[in-house]
Amino acid sequence: MSTLLAVAISALLAGLGGALVPRWVARLPEPEPDPALVEKEGPKPLYVDLAARPHLGAWAVAIAALSGALVGWAVGWDWPLVYLVPLVPVGVLLAYVDLRTRLLPSIVVVPATVVALVLVVAVSAVEGDRDALVRALVGLVAVRSFFWVLWWVRSAGMGFGDVRLSAVLGLVLGHLGWGQLLVGTYSSFLLFGVPGLALAVARRDRALLRTPYPFGPAMLAGALLGVVAGARIWSHLVAGGA
């Protein structure tokens, strides 16, 4: 019963947040244009135009509600819902914007990280789980550092918005557990790389491997997978390697 309640309430609250996505997108401040990027790819679509696309609200509600339901099913009626459910519509917004613009606005990512950090600390205090808080902070620092190194080594293949986003994902996945953190982080690379590689092989076009794609949606999908199935996948991997 408690799991069904968690699924229903998480889906409802996440769906309500998803309904606000078009309004949030429309209010995003436009970034300063990058002349080199504009010359190469043309001007970035305006956020106001992206917000006005047909059926965006319906899609955002559906995806957010489904994601919220999955989170509720995985976590159950437990304290981590306090910081996970609010991140669901934020993730939908970021995935949509990144898909259309290859940008992850810091005006969304940074406040989301701060709020998530406050909620994670509060949940850890209520639960009296100091180990989970330490694990969350380790996840934040480790995952962000890892992505920062990747960005520093090859900034052409990863934007700094991905580095910012990795911090909040590492934080919440780390609080849930090591399995969620490792599976959620690693699966983002699989979800990003495998479809592109398959498309290049199917079309026999190596140029597709050099085409820049947004990484944010894969990071968010990987994080969702980590929340939903990370512990189970990790336990199977550990048991199989024993």
* 87: nearest Cα among 181, 163, 18, 180: 18
Tell me the residue range of the domain where 133 lies: 2-241
The token pair at 181 is 């953190």
Do you know the residue count of the chain?
A: 242
Torsion of CA 131, 64, 197, 188, to 10 degrees: -10
Stretches where the chain sits below pLDDT 70 are 1, 36-41, 155-157, 195-211, 241-242
pLDDT at site 38: 62
* 185: nearest Cα among 131, 137, 159, 147: 147
pLDDT at site 207: 59
Report the greatest alpha carbon distance in the chain.
Answer: 57
Structural domain count, the chain:
1
Residue 218 C-beta-side C-alpha neighbours within 13 Å:
18
pLDDT digits over 51-85, tens only?
999 999 999 999 999 999 999 999 999 999 999 99
pLDDT at site 49: 95
pLDDT digits over 84-107, tens only?
999 999 999 999 999 999 999 999
pLDDT at site 204: 64
pLDDT at site 144: 98
Separation of alpha carbons 63 and 85, rounded Å: 13
| Residue 233 identity (one-letter amino acid) | I
Q: What beta strand segments (E) does 35-159 contain?
A: none
pLDDT at site 198: 64
Tell me which H or E stretch contains 187: helix 178-203
Separation of alpha carbons 121 and 174, rounded Å: 12
